[in-house]
């Protein structure tokens, strides 16, 4: 495919709604840890391990996974902190955090475009057990 044709397709794809251009980026399926400081990387790893230990369950979705955690304040704070750093290094994720009523469980859905589910399977081994 010629470079001009690719550029034309990108421009055509970027025109949305009322004719305004919107820049659309597609990040690769890799965790870009360079987006985080050494301290943030270490903290993210500690949080990931803690969440893996406290995980109540995992549900497979068509385009990703849903992880269930206790709905206590400490776990809510950990999931929130994790999401803030994870979206920096893995911008291709769609995050959906849901808290059940009456103090119920917290659900974290990680979904995205085709390929996201495969990435989760390989990169979230601790959480998949």
Query: Domain of 71: which CATH number?
Result: 3.30.1360
Residue-level pLDDT at 29: 78
- Residue 69 β-bridge partners: 106
Is the pTM higher than 0.75? The answer reads: yes
- Specify whether the backbone of 112 is left (phi greater than 0), alpha (psi in -120 to 50) or beta: left
Residue 9 lies in a domain: no
Q: Residue 16 — pLDDT band, cuts 50, 70, 90?
A: very low
Of 125 and 18, the structure prediction assigns the larger pLDDT to 125
Residue 19 lies in a domain: no
Residue 8 lies in a domain: no
Please report, rounded to a whole number, the percentage of residues in the chain having pLDDT higher than 70: 81
Strand order in the sheet with 57-61: 57-61, 64-69, 106-111, 94-99
Question: Domain residues for 88?
Answer: 29-128
């Amino acid at each position: 495919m010629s470079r001009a044709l690719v550029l034309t397709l990108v421009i055509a794809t970027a025109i949305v709604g009322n004719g305004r251009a919107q820049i659309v980026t597609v990040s690769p399926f890799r965790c870009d840890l360079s987006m985080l400081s050494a301290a943030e990387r270490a903290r993210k790893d500690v949080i990931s391990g803690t969440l893996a230990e406290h995980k109540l369950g995992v549900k497979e979705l068509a385009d990703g996974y849903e992880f269930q955690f206790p709905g206590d304040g400490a776990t809510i704070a950990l999931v929130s902190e994790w999401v803030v750093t994870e979206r920096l290094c893995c911008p291709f994720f769609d995050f959906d955090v849901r808290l059940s009523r009456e103090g119920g469980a917290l659900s974290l859905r990680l979904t995205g475009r085709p390929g996201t589910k495969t990435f989760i399977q390989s990169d979230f081994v601790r959480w998949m057990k």
